[in-house]
Amino acid sequence: MARRLCGEEHYSPPLLAVAGFGLAADRPFPPAPLSTDAWPTLLAAARKHRLLGQLRAAVDAGAMPATEMQTEQARAVHRSVLLRVLSLERELVTVADVLADAGIETRVLKGSAYAHLDYLKPALRSFIDLDLLFRPLDFDQAVTVLVETGFTRTLAEPRPGFDRRFDKGTTLRDTAAGFELDLHRTFVLGPWGVLVDIDALWSHADPFDVGGRSLRALSAQHRLLHACYHAALGDWPLRLGSLRDVAQLLPRVPAAALIDQATDWGVQAVVAAAVADSTRLLGLAPDGELRTWAASYVPTRREESWLGLHTHEGKTFAAQAIATLPVLPGLRDKAAYLRALVLPDDRYTAGRHTSALSRFRFGLREALRGRGARD
């Protein structure tokens, strides 16, 4: 399966204009306020694509024509999202303190880190959950510490040690506070995640403050690499807010350094796809060394196949997991990985599959769907 190009038809023209607002994009805004039917659709789409900050900014600046009622709605919805963001950041500080007391170092990923380090104002970058990166050797302890404070796992690991050795990570939920905490070992499930130089991610950190507490994010270069991963391999159709993250970070990182690191890791196709899609869909000028390189990059057949696992409506974790097996180093790792997938612990299958055979059949169907689905 080859990578599919995400077309403009997946988004309304006003949403594309909002996504590029403030970036010297050439996407035109409508000449008059949207109709009473079209406005709620734009508001909902802006929320879905994490663009409420850009929508409010465009309305406040007069770039996006809006009635008095629409202006107030844009501001009210954005305020409600910011209240949620502030609540999540309080939780983030609490979690960081718990982990620090346990001697566990972490890096804040995406939302809060991007908002404080890479956007003109933090209010322009909203988020709905928390993401933290851990060293593989600290991963099991981090889960244990957080579960002891009241978090629950959304899904058990297939076998002990699978998280820290093979998986992207795991998700914990704080039911009382009503939010999810994503614990990451690497950027993504599948072969692209195996190629990430995990040790390199810990070589440098950029500090930022939340509520008087100093937290640490990845370096700007690694934040951009992660943003490229999330933009190219995340939601389908592509989330415009993720493409906006790529565009926000591009000026902060020397093009040659990013291309060199992507080449060292073997992930040029991911970076090229994210940069090219961000340029195209946000309506940005295709100039500069990195954008020129991205536009001319031709992925190999294997790279096309790996990208294709993420670029259709029917993509599945099963297909991505199976594609991981050939790129794992060493027969011992391959055997342990395959055993965990084929013969997982009872805790992993409880409430999901009635037998090993039913799980196998389910996995086979999901793998085939993930590799061959057509929209």
pLDDT band at 358 (very low <50, low <70, confident <90, very high): low
List the single range of 63-67, 101-105, 285-289, 369-373 with lowest mean pLDDT. Answer: 369-373
**Range in 109-118, 212-221, 355-364 the model is least confident about:** 355-364
- Asked if 323 and 306 touch (Cβ cutoff 8 Å), the reply is yes
Q: pLDDT (tens digit, 9 = 90+) per residue, 279-319?
A: 999 999 999 999 999 999 999 999 999 999 999 888 888 89
Q: Is the pLDDT of residue 375 over 50?
A: no
Average pLDDT, the chain: 94
Q: Closest by alpha carbon to 234, among 279, 294, 278, 296?
A: 278
pLDDT the model gives residue 26: 92
**Which residue, among 245, 253, 135, 258, has the nearest Cα to 186 in the 3D structure?**
135
Helix (H, G, I), strand (E, B) or coil at 150: coil
What mean pLDDT do residues 115-144 have? Answer: 98
**CATH number given to 8-313:** 3.30.460.40
Confidence of residue 348 (pLDDT cuts 50, 70, 90): confident
**Domain assignments of the chain as residue spans, ordered by start:** 8-313, 314-375
